[in-house]
Amino acid sequence: MQLVVSSFNESSHEATRRPNGEHQVFVRAKPFSRCSEVCPPGYRTVPIGGIHACCHVCALCSEGEFSNTTDSEKCHKCPDDQHPNKEQSNCIPKTYEFLSYEEDFIVFLYLFIAVICSGITLCIIKLFIAHWDSPVVKANNRTVSFILLTSILLSFLCVFLFLGRPVDITCMLRQTLYGICFSIALSAVLAKTIQVCIAFKATKTGTFWRKWMGVKVSNFIVVFCSSVQVVNCIVWLSTSPPYQEYDMFSVPGKIINQCNEGSVIGFYTMLGYMGFLAAVSFLLAFMVRKLPDSFNEAKYITFSMLVFCSVWIAMIPAYLSTRGKYMVAVEVFAILISSAGLLGCIFLPKCYTILLNPTVSTRRMALQKI
78 and 110 in one domain?
Answer: no
* Residues 266/180, Cβ–Cβ less than 8 Å: no
User: What's the CA gap between 269 and 252, in Å, rounded?
Assistant: 33
Q: Distance (Å, rounded) from C-alpha 213 to C-alpha 201?
A: 10
Confidence of residue 219 (pLDDT cuts 50, 70, 90): confident
**328 within 8 A of 358, measured Cβ to Cβ:** no
Q: Is 15 in the same domain as 137? A: no
Phi/psi of residue 255, each to 5°? -110, 115
DSSP assignments along 94-114, one per residue: PEEES--TTT-HHHHHHHHHH
Range of 13's domain?
A: 1-29
CATH number, domain with residue 349: 1.20.1070.10
**61 and 165 together in one domain:** no
Name the pairing type of β-strands 82-84 and 76-77. Answer: unpaired
Average pLDDT for residues 264-272, to the nearest whole number? 90
The torsion defined by the Cα of 49, 78, 259 and 166, in degrees rounded to 10, comes to: -150
Work out how many domains the chain is built from and give that number. Answer: 3
What's the pLDDT score for residue 242? 92
CB atoms within 10 A of CB 132: 10
Query: Is position 35 within any domain?
Result: no
> Which residues, at least 6 apart from 365, have a Cβ–Cβ distance to it below 8 Å?
294, 359
pLDDT of residue 11: 42
Pairing of strands 254-260, 243-247: antiparallel
Q: Are strands 65-66 and 76-77 parallel, antiparallel or unpaired?
A: antiparallel
Residues 274 and 181: beta-carbon distance below 8 Å: no
Q: Are residues 194 and 124 in the same domain?
A: yes
The Cα 93–Cα 255 span in angstroms is 10
Q: Let me know whether 80 and 179 are in one domain.
A: no
223 and 110 housed in the same domain: yes
Cα separation, 334 vs 278, whole angstroms: 14
Mean pLDDT of the 24-32 span: 50
Q: What is the pLDDT of residues 294-321, one digit of tens each?
A: 556 778 888 888 888 888 888 888 887 8
In this structure, what is the dihedral angle of CA atoms 115, 121, 123, 129, given to the nearest 10 degrees?
-150
Same-domain check for residues 49 and 157: no
179 and 232 part of one domain: yes
pLDDT at 203 over 80: no
Q: What is the value of pTM for the model shown? A: 0.79
User: Do 193 and 88 share a domain, yes or no?
Assistant: no
How does residue 56 score in pLDDT terms, banded at 50, 70 and 90?
Answer: confident
Sheet harboring 23-28: ordered strands across?
Answer: 2-3, 23-28, 12-17
Query: Around Cβ 29, how many Cβ atoms within 10 Å?
Result: 14
Closest by CA position to 28, among listed 13, 47, 15, 43: 13
| Residue 157: predicted pLDDT | 93
Residues 83 and 226 in one domain: no
* 317-336: pLDDT as tens digits: 888 788 888 889 999 999 99
Per the DSSP assignment, residues forming a β-bridge with 44 are 59
